[in-house]
Amino acid sequence: VGGMPPRKGRTPAKAKAEQDAPVTAMDVDAPAEVEEPDEPPASPAPVGTPWVPQVRRQHLELEVGVTRRAGGVVVGCATITCRPPPAGSGDVRLVMLHAHELMIDRVTIDDAPARVVRRGRVVVGDDGKDVAPEPSRSDPDPAAAKAEAESADPVACASAAADAASIETKLADGGECDELVLARRDAGTVASAPANATEIETDDAVADPPGTPARPDVVIKVWYAAGPAAGDALPAATAGMPGTGTGTQSGWSVPGAGALCSCVDDDGGCFLAAPGAAARPAAWFPCVDDGASLAHFSLGVTVDSGLVAVAPGVLTKTVEEEEAEEAEEPNEGDASGALTTFASKNSRDGSKKKRFAFSSGGVPTQAHTITLAVGDFAQKAIPVSAAAVSAFTAAAAAEERDAEREREKASKTNETGDDRNVKDSNDARLNAAESTAASATHRVYAPRSHETELELASSAVAAALREMEDYLGRAFPFPGGARFAFVPSDCAPGAGSRAPGVAGGVNGLIANALIGCGVVVLPIDALAHPRSANCSFRSRTVLAECAVRLVFGGFLEPASDQDAWLAEGLAGHLAGRCVVARAMGSDELRYRRALEAQAVVAADDGFFLPPLASKEARVWRGGRSVSGRRQSDGNSDKVSSEEKQTGPPPDSRRLNVPVSRPPRPLVPEVERLTRAKSIAVIGMLERKLGEAGMRKVLRKLACLQAKSPGAEALQERAAAAAKATRAAREKAKAAAEAASKTSETADEAANVSAKEKAAQCARELLRREREEARASHALAESPARFLRSVSFLTLCRQNATMTKNEMAAFSCRWIEASGCPRLTVGYTFRKSRRQELLFAIELDGCAASAAADRAAFRKNAKISVTVRVQEADLPPSDHAVSLSAHDRAYCLMPLQLVTKPKDRRTIARQQQAALDRQQRAIEEGGANPRSLDAAAAAEVLQWECPVQWVRVDPEGEWLAEVRVPVAQHGLEGMVTAQLTKERPADVAAQAAAVAYLKKRAEAGSTSATRALLQCAGDETVFCRVRADAAVALAVSARDGTQRANLAHTGVARAYRARRCDPKTGLPKPSNLGGKSMAEAVVDEGFLRALGAPRDPSSVSEGDPSRSLQWTTPLECVELLIDALNHFRADGDPMDGGSFVATALLSLGNTRPPTAASFAGAANAVARWAR
């Protein structure tokens, strides 16, 4: 950076001498004052539009350290190998990278000295000093802003603050602040491209004309430092930084905590994670932050020997400091020569160092997926399948061969004849084959103080990855396996901010999660408590979400902002299928999805939630822009006819360059509901395709076989190579078995022939595996790595019985539009010779929903909703009710029934018997007459109508609210029958039935109250539905009537039967380890129900003139107090914290009716607060 003196590379001898010198309080050695020869002054900087290179490879050689006082620091060298500029670029003199608050120490371009021309909005002069920017109309005047702030008018002060914030946001979103423009010191040409300007219409690279010789790559090296302690690591660089001691701010500030998150725990363990609060890769290493470009990344991370480094790729080598010192003295241009020696104060064994080398393994990735975690970790290895190990080995071997060819090519042009590169190549080649098989494992890292939780996390990760690989039919896509690193909460990525993948956490379950290229960094809050079942299920869900996002959203990234919903939807759907359904049952998954759909329907009014296929649906990686290009901010894809003839304007290429900018996260609630809507839409498609059909589609996506423009030939080649490998593997297996059987015979000639055939088949298999690896590597660099909604919907349509119009209408209604419709239904039985059920339905909703419905009907007029009718003693039958007349008030359709009409005399006798029973009960006075009205009407209707129940949209093909009239007689009996008799039971239908019965109970129906009480005690009903029924029963007990008294006394009686000792009346000791999780869920449901009833007629003691609005029945308050005061967990292997927390929450929602009960509740809460 301008104003920073250049630093030459240091030899190990010089580094050792500097290390022996006195260090600062931060234990970072300041660079020694070395007499450097005077360099010639820099030539005037060239002008023009800078060239944004397309990166082929990038290597990061880093030295990482953490201190308790100043925080973390990364000092390193980034070697960026760029493809030559595209044809038509001419002579390139300016190069642009992305860097955010980095301290640049030195820059070279093709080993020639280079300089910084512009950093952000600050221009660096030829003398290395910043050029004061001219005042702009958009820049606020500091004096005027200060005067407005000091004025007494609060409106002017607020307006000035809003204007400043708006300008700052606009600058950050524009990405100009993160630009780093470089040029050679002699202002010479960086690279040249053949003139072919007539073929340039976009910013994509244009191929050279045929016959043009291959041009060399451009190699850029940047020595830098990042992190809050970077100023102590490079004090010479800090001297020229603006804003240090002058009181003015111009350009970048002194590097802060945005690059890294670091901490030192109570045990002295050091931890660091990158990126930090800045939430982009340019904050901790210079790069080209282009989400649409793939590059091969490799890292060399040097840390204290007591620490462990976790980074993407295959861990190919681990070198101790003594082994590193044996190497020869590095060259002047070597990356390691300019690194400062960082000695951490908290090092376990003095100044010893360890270097971790990571290679990409042949799978390229984007810059924003490169993450780093360093700490005092305990680790647990999870072995992978043999097929994955062989694939990882082939990948590492292929990458080493490519690197060796590049080093040989470089050594031929090396005039000094230094053979150090050749020696390193041989060492790396020998080490890679040995270490790849060991590193091709999934690993879980956690602080040493959490080794018990580490065992649970490793088993959960192993189960999640195993289920995911079985479902997708392929091994984990990233070489080296998956790595999960748990760091302290203070060191969690995005702590105090909204980093990529952080907003809303993982489905709102945890606060922070950083997901990179095969690496997941999580806070220790995501670890499961070994004695808590609820915490274990929560941790399993979190780890499953993260594991799946490594594939969908990591390995397969969305192609544009309009495809971001697809990555999140597929990840959530696959996590539910692979982990939630397998570990907790399909009913649990169905129940969760039903609750999410209800929340989405209630919130999506056309304004609160954005359309899924829109730029406002920023749910991927916490609001990160997918492509990161300026063209996404406008409609720059359209090219006019004039531009096609004359070429684009000179400044048009600036509108299509990669941009480094912070993510713009949504409001957490909006993000959670948008993600839930994405998962719901994927579930709707799965119900149209079937589970097997959706699994086939996801397998094609994971294997990169979805139709992608520009990758068809590579996909065919990879599929053919995979098929040939499978055939060779079967042939080799058969030959090996034949050789083993032949060896038992006495014919020696047959034995030799069989062994030769087995060896030949083994060599053929090895050759086929190498060909498959090369084809897979080529396919991994193709456009098939990106998710596209069009390709996904086409695959779904091809695997389902859907026409193009049906799929177009589906996409238009649920993906491209917003607003959820409302289906208001009504039905009644018409007794006739044909036995019909008259069904009426109305489709309405908000204005956005109505517009989306009209657009969908224009694409497909044959839209219908399924109605399932259950007749007595018959299987259910589905009827398609057309909604083509959606512009009318109602669509009326008679549904033909199968059951034949009964004899009139038999029906009359059954009706009279029901009415006689009701009249006899009234005369005897044994029952409330009002409580028998609905029951008698339902019984009479049942004898007249053969329909037991009716369900609208039973498969959930509509993301809509289904309204059933609450006041209509007879429907309550149908809903109750459906709740208790439907087999196999649908959890979503049961939850909807409980919600309907709750409304009926609140309307005064005693039969609905009894049905809810029966459901809460029915062990055949799903546990969470039983808990909801208990809560619904208690919530309906708020009107002070006899029915309300029946409701809350029924809840109290059921709770006593479940939890209290019949002899003493006190709660039984906790026995969570001896009962199922379902019983614990029901117990907590009854605890919540005890705090819900309300008595509006109570009068407070001591002041009868002052009546409260409501109080809680005394019986319920006393039961909650006893649950807290007499809770005992002696001998219970499981933790009862969730039970106690539920009881405290329920007691906090009550209003004790007496002073004694109020004091008892306060004492119970205080007891647990201590």
DSSP string, 939-992: HHHHHH--EEEEEESTT--S-SEEE--SS-TTHHHHHHHHHHH-SSPPHHHHHH
Would you say 860 and 808 are in contact if contact means Cβ atoms under 8 Å apart? Answer: yes
pLDDT at 657: 79
pLDDT at 1109: 78
Q: How many CB atoms lie within 10 A of CB 388?
A: 20
Q: How many CB atoms lie within 10 A of CB 653?
A: 16
pLDDT at 423: 39
How distant, in Å, are the alpha carbons of 376, 856, 870, 885 from that of 892? 69, 21, 20, 10
Mean pLDDT of 305-322: 87
pLDDT at 1040 > cutoff 90 = no
Would you say 486 and 457 are in contact if contact means Cβ atoms under 8 Å apart? Answer: yes
Long-range Cβ contacts of 329-333 (<8 Å, 24+ apart)? 329/11, 329/12, 329/13, 330/9, 330/11, 330/12, 330/420, 331/9, 331/416, 331/418, 331/420, 332/8, 332/9, 333/9, 333/108, 333/111, 333/221
Rounded to 5 degrees, φ, ψ at 117 are -95, -40
Q: Dump strand ranges (E) for 68-209.
A: 71-82, 91-92, 95-98, 103-109, 112-119, 122-124, 130-131, 179-184, 191-192
Would you say 11 and 330 are in contact if contact means Cβ atoms under 8 Å apart? Answer: yes
| Residue 694 pLDDT grade (very low, low, confident, very high; cuts 50, 70, 90) | very high
User: Order of strands across the sheet with 961-963?
Assistant: 891-896, 836-844, 822-830, 961-963
pLDDT at 399: 53
Mean pLDDT comparison of 501-505, 568-572, 884-888, highest-scoring range: 568-572
924 compared with 753, residue with greater pLDDT? 753
CB contact set of 463 (below 8 Å; sequence gap of 6+): 540, 579, 582, 583
pLDDT at 142: 61
- Write out the DSSP string of 329-362: PPPTT-GGGG---B--TT-TTTT-EEEEEEE-TT
23 compared with 925, residue with greater pLDDT? 925
- Which one, of 358, 354, 352, lies nearest residue 317 by Cα? 358
819 compared with 480, residue with greater pLDDT? 819
pLDDT at 558: 92
Token pair of 688 as six digits: 């149209």
Would you say 327 and 492 are in contact if contact means Cβ atoms under 8 Å apart? Answer: no
Mean pLDDT of 493-514: 50
Rounded to 5 degrees, φ, ψ at 547 are -65, -40
pLDDT at 327: 39
pLDDT at 198: 44
1039 compared with 85, residue with greater pLDDT? 85
Would you say 182 and 95 are in contact if contact means Cβ atoms under 8 Å apart? Answer: yes
Q: 75 has which bridge partners?
A: 63, 225
CB contact set of 362 (below 8 Å; sequence gap of 6+): 296, 395, 396, 398, 399, 479, 773, 776, 777, 780
pLDDT digits (tens, 9 = 90+) for 391-426: 444 555 555 555 565 656 555 544 444 443 433 444
Mean pLDDT comparison of 256-270, 483-497, 1014-1028, highest-scoring range: 1014-1028
The DSSP call for residue 713 is H
- Write out the DSSP string of 460-510: HHHHHHHHHHHHHTS--SSTT--EEEEE-GGGSTTTTS--TTTTTTTTTSS
pLDDT at 58 > cutoff 90 = yes
854 compared with 939, residue with greater pLDDT? 854
pLDDT at 949: 86
Cα first-last separation, the chain: 56
Degrees to nearest 5, angle at CA 1084 with 1081 and 1088: 135
CB contact set of 470 (below 8 Å; sequence gap of 6+): none
pLDDT digits (tens, 9 = 90+) for 231-246: 665 555 544 444 433 3
Mean pLDDT of 649-678: 77
Count of H-run helices and E-run strands, the chain: 32, 32
Q: 340-344, 349-353, 957-961, 978-982: which range is least confident on average?
A: 340-344
Question: Rounded to two decimals, what is the model's pTM?
Answer: 0.82
| Residue 64 pLDDT grade (very low, low, confident, very high; cuts 50, 70, 90) | very high
SS3 label, residue 517: coil
pLDDT digits (tens, 9 = 90+) for 354-399: 999 999 888 899 999 999 999 999 999 987 755 444 444 455 555 5
pLDDT at 140: 58
| Residue 818 pLDDT grade (very low, low, confident, very high; cuts 50, 70, 90) | very high
- Which one, of 173, 247, 153, 184, lies nearest residue 42 by Cα? 184
pLDDT at 944 > cutoff 90 = no
Counting Cβ atoms within 10 Å, is residue 1005 exposed (0-12), middle (13-18) or buried (19+)? buried
Would you say 103 and 4 are in contact if contact means Cβ atoms under 8 Å apart? Answer: yes
SS3 label, residue 298: strand
Q: How many CB atoms lie within 10 A of CB 231?
A: 22
Indicate left, alpha or beta for 1123 from its phi (over 0: left) and psi (-120 to 50: alpha). alpha
- Which one, of 481, 299, 301, lies nearest residue 374 by Cα? 301
pLDDT at 341 > cutoff 50 = no
Q: 521 has which bridge partners?
A: 485, 514
Mean pLDDT of 950-957: 89
- Which one, of 550, 59, 554, 65, lies nearest residue 287 by Cα? 59
Rounded to 5 degrees, φ, ψ at 39 are -95, 150
pLDDT digits (tens, 9 = 90+) for 205-227: 445 555 566 788 999 999 999 98
Residues 1139/1141/1144/1148 CA torsion (nearest 10 deg): -130
Q: What percent of the chain has pLDDT over 70?
A: 71
The Cα–Cα gap between 496 and 480 comes to 31
Mean pLDDT of 275-295: 89
How distant, in Å, are the alpha carbons of 536, 718, 1126, 1168 from that of 531? 8, 47, 20, 19
pLDDT at 134: 60
The Cα–Cα gap between 678 and 661 comes to 25
How confident is the prediction for the chain on average, in pLDDT? 77
How distant, in Å, are the alpha carbons of 77, 531, 835, 952 from that of 989? 60, 33, 26, 10
Rounded to 5 degrees, φ, ψ at 986 are -100, 120
31 compared with 944, residue with greater pLDDT? 944
Q: What percent of the chain has pLDDT over 90?
A: 27
Q: 823 has which bridge partners?
A: 843, 962
Indicate left, alpha or beta for 748 from its phi (over 0: left) and psi (-120 to 50: alpha). alpha
Crossing angle (nearest 10°) for helices 533-549 and 451-472 = 50
| Residue 887 pLDDT grade (very low, low, confident, very high; cuts 50, 70, 90) | low
| Residue 790 pLDDT grade (very low, low, confident, very high; cuts 50, 70, 90) | very high
pLDDT at 1136: 80
pLDDT at 173 > cutoff 70 = no
Is the peptide bond prior to 5 cis by the omega test (within 30 degrees of 0)? no
pLDDT at 487: 92
- Write out the DSSP string of 1053-1064: HHHHHHHB-TTT
**Strand duo 519-523 + 557-558: pairing:** unpaired
**Residue 1036: HSE in the Cβ half-sphere, 13 Å Cα cutoff:** 34
CB contact set of 448 (below 8 Å; sequence gap of 6+): 267, 269, 376, 377, 378
What is the Rg, in whole angstroms, of the alpha carbon atoms belonging to the chain? 35
Mean pLDDT of 624-652: 47
The Cα–Cα gap between 405 and 678 comes to 46
pLDDT at 884: 67
SS3 label, residue 715: helix
Q: 68-77, 155-164, 595-604, 1021-1030: which range is least confident on average?
A: 155-164
Would you say 447 and 376 are in contact if contact means Cβ atoms under 8 Å apart? Answer: yes
pLDDT at 891 > cutoff 80 = no
pLDDT at 340: 38
pLDDT at 16 > cutoff 50 = no
Mean pLDDT of 597-613: 92
Helix, strand, coil percentages, rounded to 5, for the chain: 45, 15, 40
pLDDT at 950 > cutoff 60 = yes
- Which one, of 1048, 1028, 1024, lies nearest residue 1036 by Cα? 1048
Residues 710/713/719/724 CA torsion (nearest 10 deg): -160
Token pair of 922 as six digits: 């009234």
Q: 950 has which bridge partners?
A: 869
Mean pLDDT of 514-519: 90
For residue 598, the Cα-to-chain-centroid distance in whole angstroms is: 22
